[in-house]
Amino acid sequence: MIERRDIDKEFYMTTTTIPPKGPRIPAAATAGVHTTPAANPHVRKWIEECVELCKPDNIYYCNGSPEERQALFEQGVSDGTFTRLNQKKLPGSYLHRSNPNDVARSEHQTFICTPSADMAGVTNNWLETKAAYNKLRPLLDGCMRGRTMYVIPFVMGPIGSPLARVGVELSDSLYVAVSMGIMTRMGDVAWRQLGDSDDFTKCLHSILDCNPDRRYICHFPLDNTIWSVGSGYGGNALLGKKCLALRIASFLGHQQGWMAEHMLLMGATAPGGEKTYVAGAFPSSCGKTNFAMLIPPEKYQKQGWRITTVGDDIVWMWIDEKTGRLRAINPEAGYFGVVPGTNERTNPNAMAAMGHDTIFTNVALLPDGDVWWEGKTKQPPPRCIDWMGKEWTPASGTKAAHPNSRFTAPANNNPAIDPAWDDPAGVEVAAIVFGGRRSRSIPLVYQAFNWLHGVYMGATLGSETTAAATGQVGVVRRDPMAMLPFIGYNVRDYFVHWMRMRKRMVDCPRIFHVNWFRKDAEGNYLWPGYGENMRVLKWIIDRSHGRAYAKETMLGWMPKAGDVDLDGLNMSAAQFEALQAVDVDEFKAEILSQEELFLKLAGDLPKEFIFQRELLIARV
Ligand code: SAT
Ligand code: MN
């Protein structure tokens, strides 16, 4: 239990994630737990080079044991990285406050570094390889003086999976070391998976002085290398996640014939036991975690429906040689989910997942050492300490938790984890769902006519922006396959790769588009969302198995009011038709706005897309 005075101390504590400089940090609590350097000669050589560059005072090799995690938390509490939370309410859980200038991914400072600009393509920031190394090397030179370099070996993907990949991250951030321990299979297990191979992603990270002017997230796909400086934020600093598992992996997948996608992966068990796996691509903070952890309405539960989570953010997919069908794994081992808006009603599984052994970042701290965020309870607390460490009351007129505040929790904290989530063989994907946050024009659900049409649908995906990335919130941004910030190579080649995958499949997943966020003229949501999305999911599953009815429309196959179960929803057939309606003029404007990305690709647009566009216009 947290003592009152500990909390009060928090009132006045300034916020920083910058590791201490100057006084030498004793390896303290972590010393002696495990300090054996990597045996792999390729790893050793690379670490030596990085040590020579960064000049850390200490080097600590993470082994991934529970004792180590505890010791790192203790150290983090003593150096101010973490605040211990109420251990009765939230056992094993801690609060971290980031620098207020460092609360989301920094897309404009994220680069693909290749010899030619064409390799990176129009959707990426590009730096020439040598120029990028030369820009970052002086920043890294001596950056870990007075600090500890954490050596963080990790595996992305279930151990033993043919797709699993090893990375080693060298970081001067304790927060990163502990977070990587949750988000990946971290520690000695990675050395065993790597063996003597030189096939590992070299991830070098320093928070420097956490200055946005010196913030660069650089990917060198040809060198299997990532250099990230100036930020401690998840997507910028936990290099196994977006940097490796999406940007570097998508590049490798293109070369090697598999796919790395920004998708959730869920299992749906029907009454009688039929199991269907569905993958879904939604731009950041469009409810992907909620959908992946969906709890069916009571009626469905009684019938025997059950939803289980394989992953909530990233999938790697390949074609099974025996069946010719698409299989998938979740390369991660934890969730890095948005907390605002999450509560027992919107996502009970996420609430349970963050009930223990969780890191909360940038949420509010309650006087009893519990945490709070907007939307956790209807009534805000009378007082708390906000995400910046300042005293807060409802009258403050500011948010107590940052809109992009997050929880970091191990995957198997989720009570609805899928039994196959850790299976090296992965699961077979029956359907792919694309979705965006669109208050107007776009229907609740429709199905692509075929794979090519589905790829076009994914390529033209649009969504209103949210707080997950820095920049303006609420404007429609084209976000192909929800991968715009994560495609590690030329988007033209990425689209072609998607289309070519079909040629090698015997049967392909069916492709759908959903929009949970359509509003009426008064700004009210037309669809209840959350658990009720089960009704749409059931139609998707039935369509994937060739069972449900649909009508042909200009956008694709659509359910009629009777095809999606509305029983118990208090929604009339007419209201459902309004939710599915397509206004021709509005949709013409939509087609024009889809051009935005295609214009950038001018001359490079795959010819199949030109056909798809012509067909769409003809239908409209
Ligand atoms: O990029 S993060 O992984 O930090 C969060 C997200 O946008 O999904
Ligand atoms: Mn994401």
pLDDT in tens, 324-343: 999 999 999 999 999 999 99
Averaged pLDDT, 170-176: 98
Q: How confident is the model at residue 596 (pLDDT cuts 50, 70, 90)?
A: confident
β-sheet bridge partners, residue 112: 126, 219
Do the Cβ atoms of 445 and 559 come closer than 8 Å?
yes
Averaged pLDDT score across all residues of the chain: 92
- Other C-beta atoms closer than 10 Å to the C-beta of 599 total 10
Retrieve residue 581's tokens: 């309606």
Token output for 40: 């792999």
Summarised one tens digit per residue, pLDDT across range 44-57 is: 999 999 999 999 99
Other CB atoms within 10 Å distance of the CB of residue 145: 14
Per-residue model confidence (pLDDT) at position 287: 84
* C-alpha 279, offset from chain centre: 14
CATH 1.10.1200.10 fits 335-413, yes or no: no
- Between the CA of 458 and the centroid of ligand 2 the distance, in Å, is 16
Nearest-CA residue for ligand 1 atom 1 is: 235
Residue to substitute in 105, 156, 477, 479 for testing ligand 1 pocket (most ligand atoms within 8 angstroms of CB) = 105
By the 8 A CB rule, do 311 and 292 touch?
yes
Specify the ligand 1 atom closest to the Cα of 288.
Answer: 8
Index of the ligand 1 atom closest to the CA of residue 338? 5
Instruction: Reduce the DSSP state of residue 197 to 3 states and report it.
Output: coil
pLDDT at 386: 98
Residue partners of 48: CB distance under 8 A and separation at least 6: none
Residues sharing a CB contact under 8 Å with residue 529, sequence separation 6 or more, in sequence order: 287, 516, 517
CA of 105, closest atom in ligand 1: 1
Distance CA 290, CA 285 (A): 10
CA contacts within 13 A on the Cβ side of 53: 19
Report how far ligand 1's centroid is from the alpha carbon of 46 (Å): 28
Residue owning the nearest CA to atom 6 of ligand 1: 284
Q: Kindly list the distances between the CA atom of residue 348 and the CA atoms of 95, 188, 357, in Å, as whole numbers in the listed order.
A: 21, 33, 17
* CATH 2.170.8.10, the chain: domain bounds: 335-413
Rounded CA separation 500/29 (Å): 52
Q: Which of 398, 403, 290 is nearest to 351 (CA)?
A: 290
| 160-172 pLDDT tens trace | 998 999 999 999 9
In the chain, CATH 3.40.449.10 sits at: 107-256
Assign domain 261-333+422-619 to its CATH architecture. Answer: Alpha-Beta Complex (3.90)
- Of 115, 124, 360, the residue nearest 242 (C-alpha): 124
Q: Which residue has the tokens 């001067």?
A: 172
What band does 470 get if pLDDT is binned at 50, 70 and 90?
A: low
Average pLDDT of span 282-301: 92
DSSP 344-364: TTT-HHHHHHTTSS-EEES-E
Give start-end residues of each CATH 3.90.228.20 domain in the chain. 261-333+422-619
Tell me the three-class secondary structure of 71-82, residue by residue: HHHHHHHHHCCC
SS3 content of the chain, % helix, strand, coil (to 5): 35, 20, 45
CA distance 405 to 418: 26
Give the pLDDT confidence score for residue 15 in this predicted structure.
46
CA of 433 to the centre of ligand 2 (A): 15
Statement: residue 349 has pLDDT above 90: yes
Q: Give 395: exposed, middle or buried? Use CB within 10 Å, 0-12, 13-18, 19+.
A: exposed
pLDDT category at 8 given cuts 50, 70, 90 is very low
Q: Give, using CA atoms, the residue closest to atom 3 of ligand 1.
A: 235
Task: Give the pLDDT of residue 11.
Answer: 33
Q: Which DSSP letter does residue 242 get? A: I
Answer yes or no: is pLDDT of 146 > 90. Answer: yes
The whole-angstrom separation of Cα 510 and Cα 278 is 10
For residue 20, name the pLDDT band (cuts at 50, 70, 90): low
Q: What is the DSSP letter of 282?
A: -
Protein residue whose Cα sits closest to atom 8 of ligand 1: 284
Q: Which pLDDT does position 576 carry in this prediction? A: 95
CA of 237 to the centre of ligand 2 (A): 14
Q: What is the pLDDT of residues 492-544, one digit of tens each?
A: 999 999 999 999 999 999 999 999 999 999 999 999 999 999 999 999 999 99
The DSSP bridge partners found for residue 94 are 84, 359
Instruction: Tell me the Ramachandran region of residue 590: left when phi exceeds 0, alpha when psi lies from -120 to 50, beta otherwise.
Output: alpha
Specify the higher pLDDT residue, 9 or 261. Answer: 261
Question: How many whole angstroms from 338 Cα to the centroid of ligand 1?
Answer: 9
The pLDDT of residue 1: 40
Structure token digits, residue 150: 């954490």
**Of all protein residues, whose CA lies closest to atom 4 belonging to ligand 1?**
235
Does domain 107-256 sit in CATH 3.60.10.10?
no
Q: To test ligand 1's pocket by mutation, which of 241, 291, 473 has the most ligand atoms within 8 angstroms of CB?
A: 241
Q: Which amino acid is at 344?
A: E
Contact status, residue 475 vs residue 438, Cβ threshold 8 Å: no
| Catalytic pick among 50, 286, 384, 508 | 286
Distance of CA 549 from the midpoint of ligand 1 (Å): 37
Query: Would you say 484 and 302 are in contact if contact means Cβ atoms under 8 Å apart?
Result: no
Tokens 């990163």, residue? 176
pLDDT-based confidence at residue 14 (cuts at 50, 70, 90): very low
Ligand 1 closest atom vs CA 313: 8
The model carries a pTM of: 0.93
Are residues 164 and 426 in contact, defined by beta-carbon separation less than 8 angstroms? Answer: no
Q: Which residues surround ligand 2, an ion (CB under 5 A)?
A: 284, 313
Which two tokens mark 228?
A: 């990230």
Closest-CA residue to 335 (of 367, 288, 301, 296) = 288
The answer, yes or no, to whether any atom of ligand 1 lies below 6 A from the CB of 234, is yes
Give the C-alpha distances (Å, rounded to integers) separating 106 from 75, 130, 156, 468.
Answer: 28, 22, 23, 10
Active-site residue flag, 508: no
Termini Cα distance of the chain: 63
